[in-house]
């Protein structure tokens, strides 16, 4: 007997890093028809404001002052809502497929016999690069782009440090605030010049966006000045509109 098509009432939507302008048209249209929206902590207020008033809204990022919702609870919530047959949107910050625990949620749906659609979003690194006036790849400079995490389930994440340290390479580090000193140490150990440019971009595309132009030498100090979700662009300096904090301007004077 041929497999019956899976019910497809769940749509994963990448919300982009914050601004409503960065939500895709497909994402916006999906959101307009939502009956249930399950969203993360990193979804910006501008995007949350687009959720229809009559849709059930479930915040799985944080509950009051309690710790973050566990992935098991998120999976179970998603499946339970999907089984109601309502149009469910699983709204994730940035792109759902970049450090978004998407696989666990797809697996949970599939195990329950449920299908889904994925609508990708703009990931923080691409918007951060645009905000600092740089491209992530450039002819003659870098032929590859790395997107890495600062930590994984084992602690500070290990990477191809020698590759990242090479002059001209560009690496976007997500979740890298706590590991900034570790990253700095590894890169210096693998021969990266202390003057390697780094852009620290916090709250990308939100009203409180911060752009801090720094170098590998000053990376931990720069990161300490960033508040909120932050992406590090190693190998890229802000082209223009640098809002270096006074402490850093003094450090570079």
Ligand X SMILES: C[S@@+](CC[C@H](N)C(=O)[O-])C[C@H]1O[C@@H](n2cnc3c(N)ncnc32)[C@H](O)[C@@H]1O
Query: Which residues are catalytic, by number?
Result: 40, 62
Q: List 174's β-bridge partners, or say none.
A: 149
203 lies in the site for ligand X, by CB under 6 A: yes
| Contact in structure between 121 and 95 (CB atoms under 8 Å) | yes
185: tokens are 């140490």
Least distance CB 112 / ligand X (angstroms): 24
Is position 12 an interface residue for ligand X (rule: CB under 6 A)? Answer: no
Show contacts with ligand X in window 90-149 (CB under 6 A).
Answer: 92-95, 98-100, 123-124
Query: Is 175 a binder of ligand X (CB under 6 A)?
Result: yes
Q: How many CB atoms lie within 10 A of CB 207?
A: 10
DSSP string, 148-206: EESEETTEEPP--HHHHHSTT-EEEEES-STTHHHHHHHHHHTT--TT-EEEEEESTTS
CB of 17 to ligand X, least distance (A): 3
Residue of the chain from 229, 236, 238, 245 that contacts ligand X (CB under 6 A): 229
Task: Classify 111 as helix, strand or coil.
Answer: helix
138 in helix, strand or coil? strand
**Which residue of 31, 202, 219, 236 would you call a contact of ligand X, by CB under 6 A?**
202
Q: Is the CB of 18 or the CB of 142 nearer to ligand X? A: 18
In the list 10, 12, 13, 17, the residue contacting ligand X (rule: CB under 6 A) is: 17
CB under 6 A: which stretch of 53-61, 130-138, 181-189, 197-205 binds ligand X? 197-205
Minimum CB–partner distance for residue 144 and ligand X (Å)? 19
Q: Which CB, 17 or 238, lies closer to ligand X?
A: 17
Handedness of CA 148, 62, 102, 126 (dihedral sign): negative
In the complex with ligand X, which residue's Cβ is closer, 106 or 231?
231
Instruction: Give the one residue of 42, 136, 165, 192 binding ligand X; rule: CB under 6 A.
Output: 42
Nearer to ligand X, 83 or 182 (CB): 182
- Give CA separation, 194 vs 92, 214, 226, in Å: 35, 10, 20
């Amino acid at each position: 007997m041929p497999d019956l098509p899976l019910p497809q009432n769940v749509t994963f939507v990448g919300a982009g890093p914050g601004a409503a302008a960065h939500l895709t048209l497909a994402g916006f249209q999906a959101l307009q028809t939502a009956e249930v929206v399950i969203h993360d902590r990193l979804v910006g207020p501008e995007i949350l404001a687009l959720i229809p008033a009559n849709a059930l809204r479930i915040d799985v990022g944080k509950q009051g002052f309690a710790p973050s919702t566990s992935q098991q609870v998120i999976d179970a919530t998603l499946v339970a809502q999907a089984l109601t047959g309502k149009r469910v949107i699983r709204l994730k910050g940035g792109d759902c497929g970049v450090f978004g625990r998407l696989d666990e949620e797809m697996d949970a749906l599939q195990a329950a016999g449920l299908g889904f659609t994925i609508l990708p979003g703009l990931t923080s690194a691409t918007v951060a690069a645009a905000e600092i006036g740089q491209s992530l790849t450039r002819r003659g400079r870098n032929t590859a782009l790395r997107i890495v995490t600062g930590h994984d389930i084992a602690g500070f994440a290990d990477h191809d440090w020698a590759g990242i340290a090479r002059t001209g390479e560009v690496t976007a580090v997500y979740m890298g605030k706590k590991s900034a000193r570790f990253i700095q140490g590894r890169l210096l150990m693998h021969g990266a010049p202390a003057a390697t440019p780094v852009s620290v971009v916090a709250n990308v595309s939100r009203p409180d966006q911060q752009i801090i132009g720094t170098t590998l030498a000053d990376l931990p100090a720069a990161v300490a000045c960033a508040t909120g979700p932050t992406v590090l662009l190693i190998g890229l300096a802000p082209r223009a509109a640098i809002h270096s904090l006074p402490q850093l301007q003094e450090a570079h004077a």
